[in-house]
């Protein structure tokens, strides 16, 4: 798990660099930083909510003795999206720190 966390940290650095090339490298205010961070967290929450819903659908399939492959694929896709959103959250947290560090 520690190796994976280090890799995620590196992905967050890469994402921050990509975001800084596309947008300003610092937030103009704490309000702006908060709004962007809130949006990224909400997007991550939505992906987790979708994964939970697909997991419920998977359980219904299992109880009906139906193979839940379609739902498992959907959960995997949600997990990848959630990971990407989480990396964006980490990147925006670093951008916030970089913008207002004293």
pLDDT in tens, the chain (102 residues): 999 999 999 999 999 999 999 998 999 999 999 999 999 999 999 999 999 999 999 999 999 998 888 999 999 999 999 999 999 999 999 999 999 987
Residues in contact with 51: Cβ distance below 8 Å, sequence separation at least 6, in sequence order: 75, 78, 79, 82
Which whole-number Å values give the CA distances from 51 to 6, 13, 39, 44, 57, in the listed order?
A: 24, 26, 19, 11, 10
Q: Is 99 exposed, middle or buried (0-12, 13-18, 19+ CB in 10 A)?
A: middle
Give CA 100 to chain center in angstroms.
23
Hey, where are the domains in the chain? 2-100
The pTM is what?
Answer: 0.90
User: What's the pLDDT score for residue 80?
Assistant: 97
Residue of 50, 46, 30, 48 whose CA lies nearest to 92: 30
């Amino acid at each position: 798990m520690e190796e994976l966390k280090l890799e995620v940290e590196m992905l967050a650095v890469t994402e921050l660099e990509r975001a800084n090339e596309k947008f300003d490298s610092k937030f103009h205010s704490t309000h702006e930083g908060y709004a962007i961070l809130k949006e990224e967290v909400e997007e991550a929450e939505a992906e987790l909510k979708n994964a939970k819903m697909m997991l419920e659908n998977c359980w219904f399939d299992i109880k009906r003795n139906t193979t839940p492959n379609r739902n498992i694929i959907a959960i995997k896709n949600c997990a990848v999206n959630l990971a990407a959103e989480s990396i964006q959250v980490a990147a925006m947290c670093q951008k916030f720190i970089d913008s207002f560090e004293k």
